[in-house]
Amino acid sequence: MPRLFRPPYGRIRGDQIDYLTKRGMRIINWSIDTRDWHTQVVNQQDIEFDASHYSHPEAVILMHDGGGNRSNSVAALDKIISH
């Protein structure tokens, strides 16, 4: 049974929070958006900067694995993980 829930697009209403928490779900959202979804504008260096510059011990970094060319996201992972 899943225990974690990430709201789509980071949006959630109060009634949804009540519903999920009453069922033992923990709501998790991201704290850093690498903007990798904006493939026309964001390059590998932008993704690396956003992820490393704004990171902190409890950070949840939002990245995507679908919906277009993710080569910049994949290329940025080594630096992000090692940070």
pTM as predicted: 0.77
Residues 24 and 39 in one domain: no
Residue 59, classed as helix, strand or coil, is coil
Residues 17 and 37 in one domain: no
Residues 74 and 56 in one domain: yes
Residues 7 and 36 in one domain: no
Side-chain-facing half-sphere of 28: CA atoms under 13 Å: 14
Instruction: Provide the number of structural domains found in the chain.
Output: 2
Residue 50, classed as helix, strand or coil, is helix
Across the chain, mean pLDDT equals: 92
Average pLDDT over residues 65-74: 86
Decide if pLDDT at 39 tops 90: no
Residues 37 and 70 in one domain: yes
pLDDT bin (cut points 50, 70, 90) of residue 40 is: confident
Give the distance from CA 70 to its chain's centroid: 14
Helix/strand/coil percentages in the chain, nearest 5? 40, 10, 50
Residues 78 and 38 in one domain: yes
User: 58 CB contacts (<8 Å, ≥6 apart)?
Assistant: 31
